[in-house]
Amino acid sequence: MIAVSGATRLYAVLGDPVAQVQAPAMLNPVFADLGLDAVLVPVLAGAADLAEVVTGLQRIGNLDGLLITVPHKIEACAFADVLSPAVRAAGSTNAMRREADGRWTAENFDGAGFVLGLSAAGHELAGRRVTLVGAGGAGGAIAAAVLDAGAARLQVCDPDEERLSALLDRLAGHRPDRVAGGPVAELEGADLVVNATPLGLRPGDPLPFDPALTPAGAVVADIIMKPRRTALLRAAAAEGRLVHHGAHMLSHQLHLYRSFFRLAAPDRH
């Protein structure tokens, strides 16, 4: 990678925890390949500190963009001046950039990245029945993208009634006939079941749902990237289910980030 100097441009990825995030290992080689003097650094920000950390980072003159991950994707929307359509549908953001006029635009690539990753693995969504566990930041993004990709039915479950209801309200504006919600995952009849909760990030977390209760031909997907083989995916594989790893969601976002942050090789003329 490029050596950091005083002239290096900054990007930061915010999360809690942050040690497991893959974005620096994926984007820093992109900067290097393009010959850009830029670095993406991890930023550990607790929920109570999010406002001060984000507003502090946004005032750094050589910082051009932020990536946002668990658990800040929803709250971070408050620190953007412009929300993209995907952010408004999902109620969450995972990328923010500074515009030429100093305003900050929020985008969300989780949903598009997740759908692209599924498609690349041979799992098309058109006509499928999807159960989504977790109505948080990533869950909201995935829900909107899954509906846009033509899923026949989406059941969203979350024990937090208020959070679930807010997400259903946003989604109802798009395809109300295809969406249902409840506190418990409906696994029967599902073609695809997605974990969009943080359960599995920490050793000893309970499973977000029991993969043994999914249909025999179902795909079980996780959005957790580290560990790559979460306890959920190990249990699903042991039951003979097809599994889809969290890393796909991010790897298929790379070119979306490149475009959003306008990353291009410097003009040498």
Q: Which residues bind its own copies (CB under 8 A)?
A: 1, 3-8, 10, 13, 15-16, 18-25, 28, 39-46, 49, 52-57, 59-63
Question: Phi/psi of residue 12, each to 5°?
Answer: -135, 145
Exposure of 92 in the CB half-sphere (CA atoms within 13 A): 27
Q: Which is nearer to its own copies, 45 or 164 (CB)?
A: 45
Q: Which is nearer to its own copies, 37 or 148 (CB)?
A: 37
CA distance linking residue 157 with residue 164, whole number of Å: 7
Residue matched to tokens 């668990």: 70
Q: Which is nearer to its own copies, 9 or 178 (CB)?
A: 9
Q: Which is nearer to its own copies, 15 or 136 (CB)?
A: 15
Q: Which of 31, 36, 50, 73 is catalytic?
A: 73
Tell me the closest approach of the beta carbon of residue 156 to its own copies, in angstroms. Answer: 29
Contact 93, 76 (CB under 8 A): yes
Told to judge if 73 belongs to the known catalytic residues of this protein, a careful annotator would answer yes
Q: Which is nearer to its own copies, 53 or 130 (CB)?
A: 53
Q: Which pair of tokens denotes residue 50?
A: 């999010």
Tell me the closest approach of the beta carbon of residue 38 to its own copies, in angstroms. Answer: 10
Give the bridge partners for 43, in sequence order. 14
Residue 188, Cβ density class (10 Å: 0-12 exposed, 13-18 middle, ≥19 buried): exposed
Tell me the closest approach of the beta carbon of residue 244 to its own copies, in angstroms. Answer: 22
Sheet containing 9-15, strands listed edge to edge, beginning at the edge strand earlier in sequence = 38-44, 9-15, 63-68, 95-98, 104-107, 82-83
Q: Which pair of tokens denotes residue 253?
A: 């976002």
Strands (E), 16-115: 38-44, 63-68, 82-83, 95-98, 104-107
Residues marked active site are found at: 73
